[in-house]
Structure 1
Amino acid sequence: MKRRTFLKSSLALGATAALTSPFNIIKAANREGEIIGHGDFRYRVNRSWGQLDRTKYPVKDCHEMVMDSRKRLIMITNETKNNILIYDKSGKLLDSWGNRFPGGHGLTLHNENGEEFLYITDYEVKEVYKTTLDGKILLTIKHPKLIGEYADCDKFGPTETCIGPNGDIYVADGYGSQYILQYTAKGEFIRKFGGDSFIKDDKFKQVHGVALDTRDPANPVLMCTERVKNCFKRFTLDGKYIDSIYLPGIYMSRPVFDGDILYSGVCYSALKHHMLTMNSGFVTILNKDNKVVSNPGGTKPVYKGGEPELMVQDQPIFKHCHDVCVDDDKNLYICQWMADGTYPVKLERI
């Protein structure tokens, strides 16, 4: 897959050893009903939630999930038999649609003047789509080389979007050239920032996710994922670098905000020599001060001198946690990548 090719090239300085280590044989255990997590954020594992007839509703990778105003849980997969699955909170399937997104990856929900829309990224087709909740495409953002913002040789593999306070669309090119691209609500290009670098703070190695952080309402910022360097990075809305939140051992997915709390799926855990290990992962939860307070499926967070210690998978419950969706009861729904085509795992808040 292209994503694996990207990761292997990005981690040429040493991750090859991790990918071939004995830890790769770790298998996710059933662990039904087990209690995981730390402090005030503890959960009961529910693997039976959302199970469907695989012959009718197969999934490859359960990439991301959002909850709309009707409390429906909308999930995207890269299975073109049904790119979108829509559940109620009990796990009953309500609807499904979509067969044109072979790289269906990012799924953002945005309320625009009382009406909700989806933003879908497809890293295979190399486009971003704004759709209605039932799948009508309203806007398409194509490869930026078509408007002269990328060279013909530049790669474009969009992985995520977020919508700014004024309706601007931010696109994370996480499987391409490592830019955040900013467009107007009508899809008109404004700017790009970031780019590919292991070293520079204002650039990225796998800008996998982007989200609008409004926890300080007077100063909204962009929270960007830099997975390969175990960081969330904060930028102003016009693309100026602010700072980084380093979480050693955590190869994170997109940031998901619920009130003052930040959630993220950890796609890989660093089980050997601080490098990523296949078939590993957990969930991480940060408070309003961007300190980790719980790692369901992972080790208890420890800070020394204000800095976090290494955090790794503690229980083999998950493989490659790709997204977290939070419902109105604070339960979590965990989407997984490369997890044998499994449906989301529900974590019931206790």
Structure 2
Amino acid sequence: MLAEYAETAYRGKQAAKFRNEIATGERDSMYCRYQSKQALFPWGNVFGHCYDSYQSAAFKYNLSGKAEHYRNVLGCTPNILSLSTIGRKVSDILLLIWVCIHLTILLCLFFIPVFLYLLGNEKQGTLALCYIFLMWAFSKFFNLTIWKLIRKKVKASRVNFERTKGLVWMDNNSGSHSLKFPFEEFNAHYKVQNNPQSGFPYRGFTLLHFKKDVFYAWTGANLISSAFLHWELLQNFMDVTQPLADIPQFEYYREFDKTTADFDKANGRPKYFWYRVDKSFLKKMSQAKNEQLKEFNDDEQLDNLLMGKPIKKLNPPEIFKFPWKYAENIKPESEIKFGKTAWQKFTSFLMIDL
């Protein structure tokens, strides 16, 4: 069950040539030309952990079965982390528009008829209910039938990170993910994306190949710290010399990864810890992260990044390495329950399944 690690797997180091020989002006893509000239994130750890704001959602997705559902849809194996990249294809934008329209219809279905009934206009309320229900039903029917046939093509908008071989699978625009490059050939270039309405900046990075016009783009909050955490998450997943970070997002992968399985066995980590611990423990992890963030001057470190100065490295609390030692309520393995609650099943039925 445990796969052997290939000699080509990324091992926590990058050859200097991939930083020094970055192709800039000769690229075909204007976006890649621009990003190739932006500041570079340093390789290695700054925070020393990968616990970010997404872990709360990952915890819920694991227990509800949503994470397993997505892995099945995407055809992911236990050594592949599949992530959606931002702004790569028109299909991504259309998908987002569909989600927003469906949600708007759903809200109208609940509120507009009720509003009309309260005004005493029962005929208009009933008519509105029928029309809005038909729009919701059409969207839901499309989701349950035609969407399932074309959903596989949407996988082309994702980037796969293969831990055991240290490879990054990029989209070749046909949906086959036939383009594969060593992870160490990519650099994380600083990226900022502004909201066109408010001008509010979202900071992140573009993981761009040092020569090819292929990339993984990510932006988060208006904090450079969130970008560092995500960059460390990718490095951690791809570095086979160290165990996977102990976070909900990686629980599924732990037992299949040799380095991690050996680490867990040597340190007595409870199997399936993040499936068994009480969700209140997430608050304790978040508090520890927030305390550590106080040592990280975000504005100062952003300036250091843009000017190529060293970034301050932090010492992570032990809770990030051995979280089970700080958890009070860990259920027996026999009590693990997967699946949606009645409320989750109801809301899933109302929404569309991507």
State if a TM-score over 0.5 links the two structures. Answer: no
Rg (Cα) greater in structure: 2
TM-score by length of 1: 0.28
- Which structure dedicates a bigger proportion of its chain to strand? 1
Q: Which has the higher contact order (CA 8 A, sep 6+)?
A: 2
Q: TM-score, normalised by structure 2?
A: 0.28
Higher helix share: 2
